[in-house]
Amino acid sequence: MELTSEEKDMLEGKHGNAVRKSMEILVALGNIFGAKQLIDVASVQIAGVSYHNLGEAGLGYLSELARDGKVRVLTTLNPAGMDMENWKNLGISPDFAEKQERVIDAFKKMGVITTCTCTPYFIGNNPRFGEHVSWSESSAVCYANSVLGLKTNREGGPSALASALTGKTPEFGMHLDENRQAEIAVNVSADIKTVPDFGALGYAIGKKIGKNVPLIKGIKNAGTEELKSFCASIATYGGTALFHMEGITPNQTAEPGESVDIAQQDIDGAKAELNDADEIDLVGIGCPHLSLKEVSEVARMLEGKKVNKEVWICVARPIKRIADQMGYTKIIEDSGAKFACDTCMAVAPLKGRFRGLATDSAKGCFYGRGKNSFKTKFATIPELIEEATR
Amino acid sequence: MSETMKGRPVAKGKAEGEAMVSADGISFYGGVEPETGKVVERGHPLEGKTVTGKILVFPTGKGSTVGSYVLYDMKKRGTAPAAIINKEIETIIAVGAIISEIPCVDKIEIEMIKDGAKVEVDADSGTLKLL
């Protein structure tokens, strides 16, 4: 890989230890994946924030980098293992809370914006169409590439942090236009309308085409919320970093040679597979974190009602602040539902506390099952609220 | 008499030790216990064995990107392998080896290395010497 004289200095430690270590990571990845150079990134999104996943090891690494590391571009964080302000109310232990706070403190010391969310694009990490970024969090990567027209590989926590501390990433994969073309057409004949429909569509396509870049046809309309859910699902069940949706997403692509079909039975099959719970004791809404529109709708549905089970409303804290200002928070909390900012039901350590999770998120089902051993029910937000207030 | 193999340097450093060879990929997150260095993945060919101090030879990494942090944790605890040899590296192991400063080489025909063989690794140049 060709390095500039400044980049060589960074690699040799002239900009400090954190920059040296970060450059070693980026140069090694660049060499492995055949990058010719490093390129500047407009922003970074870092995953690997929950202490539940990081452990002492991750915390030790972050603390070491925080000794002399400072971010060079706008950098935001993925969800943590708890609500950073309201953790007690969500049943998190003081021991876990103390460790999670140390993780956040290390990021803060490096200048990372310590709002913890999987929807950085809702809180101001929103570069312009076509810019290169270095994002982790598979749903946000997919949304960035496909919906916003940004260019990013699927980064892991350490490589995204390395980009934050240097402002750079190696140029390979999704950064190159030749890798952003559709590889397979997906003809959808099923009727896709609701958020769970889009989640089931992501599941069905992901299982069929894996990491290939699809050109999806036959979708009449999709808003921000539907696309957010679709991105989370197709990235979880398939692993693609990018898709094209005819008439909806902004990137250009040539017509691929191969194609597959998705029929109503594929969608019904996906929904059936995601429903295996008989008994629900936790309703989790907001995977990925809710948009402002969704929070306002949830408030309207809960107005004057009481919930009869644990209900978590997962959002980025800035969205909650707007909800506070608009009175939505009072309505939601008066119903007995709880806000879970900075976290969600998939990353919080909830194993053993609940058995059945009901959610509108196909991704939430996957991680609820894998990490927290939940059984799951998959339905729309109005159906979930109806069940929780019956 | 010794045989030399040439691969690609991934993470710098030198090490010498006994080869532990796995035909399957390794996920350090969930697959290896950082406290003991023991492989705990159910059904894995190395299940129950301890990777500490070994020249760990396997095709490629798998699983969660948190695996990079697990390697770092093992290095700090003194339970890490002495070096890692892969057929084809991927990002989790590459990043893990770099941040942990564990010598790492890939593009090696790992089928040629016998379990238990004495191996000298020079990851600065990407060479292995089978002793």
Residue A223 neighbours by CB under 8 Å, 6+ apart: none
Q: What is the pLDDT of residue B41?
A: 86
| Length reported for chain B | 131
User: Is A47's Cβ below 8 Å from some Cβ in B?
Assistant: yes
Cα dihedral A14, A19, A22, A26, rounded to 10, equals -60
Q: Is the dihedral of CA A61, A62, A63, A66 positive or negative?
A: positive
User: Is B130's Cβ below 8 Å from some Cβ in A?
Assistant: no
Q: What is the pLDDT of residue B50?
A: 98
Q: Integer distance in angstroms from the first to the last C-alpha of chain A?
A: 62
User: Is A58's Cβ below 8 Å from some Cβ in B?
Assistant: yes
Mean pLDDT across chain B, nearest whole number?
A: 93
DSSP E strand stretches across A31-112: 38-40, 43-46, 74-77
Give catalytic status of residue B125 as yes or no.
no
Substitution target in A50, A61, A62 with the highest count of B β-carbons within 10 Å is A61
Q: Which of B8, B74, B91 sits opposite A159 (nearest CB)?
A: B91
Q: Which of B34, B74, B95 sits opposite A158 (nearest CB)?
A: B95
- Asked if residue A44 has pLDDT above 80, the reply is yes
Q: What is the pLDDT of residue A160?
A: 97
Whether A32 and B72 lie within 8 Å, measured CB to CB: no
Per-residue pLDDT tens over the stretch A208-227 = 999 899 999 999 999 999 99
| Banded pLDDT at B63 (limits 50, 70, 90) | confident
Rounded to whole angstroms, how far apart are CA atoms A284 and A357? Answer: 7
Burial code of A179-190, b = ≥16 C-beta within 10 A, e = fewer?
ebbbbbbbebeb
What is the CB-side half-sphere exposure of residue A321 using CA atoms within 13 A?
8
How far is C-alpha A21 from the geometric centre of its chain's CA atoms?
A: 26
Per-residue pLDDT tens over the stretch A114-172 = 999 999 999 999 999 999 999 999 999 999 999 999 999 999 899 999 999 999 999 99
Whether A25 and B95 lie within 8 Å, measured CB to CB: yes
CB B82 within 8 A of CB B17: yes
Rounded to whole angstroms, how far apart are CA atoms A327 and A310? Answer: 21
User: Is B36's Cβ below 8 Å from some Cβ in A?
Assistant: no
Residue range A234-241: mean pLDDT, rounded: 91
DSSP E strand stretches across chain A: 38-40, 43-46, 74-77, 113-116, 134-135, 168-170, 184-188, 214-217, 244-245, 258-262, 282-285, 310-315, 338-341, 356-359, 375-378
**Which of the following is catalytic: B2, B64, B100, B125?**
B64
User: Is A55's Cβ below 8 Å from some Cβ in B?
Assistant: yes
- Asked if residue A371 has pLDDT above 80, the reply is no
Q: Greater confidence, B61 or A229? A: A229
| Banded pLDDT at A248 (limits 50, 70, 90) | very high
Residue A270 neighbours by CB under 8 Å, 6+ apart: A200, A201, A203, A204, A207, A362
Rounded to whole angstroms, how far apart are CA atoms A177 and A255? Answer: 15
Q: Greater confidence, A54 or B123? A: B123
SS3 A198: helix
Whether A56 and B73 lie within 8 Å, measured CB to CB: yes
- High-pLDDT (> 90) share of chain A, %: 89
Q: Which of B74, B76, B99 sits opposite A25 (nearest CB)?
A: B99
| Banded pLDDT at B1 (limits 50, 70, 90) | low
Q: What is the ipTM of this complex?
A: 0.74
- Asked if residue B6 has pLDDT above 60, the reply is yes
CB A112 within 8 A of CB A80: no
pTM as predicted: 0.91
Substitution target in A17, A159, A366 with the highest count of B β-carbons within 10 Å is A159
- For B:16-35, CB contacts with A below 8 A are 34
Q: What is the pLDDT of residue A239?
A: 87
Question: Phi and psi of A268, rounded to 5°?
Answer: -60, -40
Instruction: Give the distance from residue A26's alpha carbon to the nearest chain B alpha carbon, in angstroms.
Output: 9
Beta bridge partners of B18: B118
Residue range A238-267: mean pLDDT, rounded: 96
- Asked if residue B47 has pLDDT above 70, the reply is yes
What is the CB-side half-sphere exposure of residue A245 using CA atoms within 13 A?
26
- Asked if residue A244 has pLDDT above 80, the reply is yes
Rounded to whole angstroms, how far apart are CA atoms A8 and B75? Answer: 27
Secondary element (H or E) of residue B128? strand B127-130
User: Is A239's Cβ below 8 Å from some Cβ in B?
Assistant: no
- What are the structural domains of chain B? 3-130 (3.50.30.10)
Which of A173, A287, A190 has its CA nearest to residue A240? A173
Which of A201, A356, A365 has its CA nearest to residue A287? A365
Q: What is the pLDDT of residue B92?
A: 87
Instruction: Give the distance from residue B66's alpha carbon to the nearest chain A alpha carbon, in angstroms.
Output: 7
Residue range A56-62: mean pLDDT, rounded: 90
Pairing of strands B38-39, B14-21: unpaired
Q: Which residues of B touch A156 (CB under 8 A)?
A: 65, 68, 91-92, 95
| Banded pLDDT at B45 (limits 50, 70, 90) | very high
Which of A283, A273, A295, A287 has its CA nearest to residue A364? A287
- Asked if residue A267 has pLDDT above 60, the reply is yes
Mean pLDDT across chain A, nearest whole number?
A: 95
- What are the structural domains of chain A? 5-177 (3.30.499.10), 181-273 (3.40.1060.10), 275-388 (3.30.499.10)
Residue range B106-118: mean pLDDT, rounded: 96
Question: Phi and psi of B33, rounded to 5°?
Answer: -85, 115
Question: Phi and psi of A363, rounded to 5°?
Answer: -65, -40
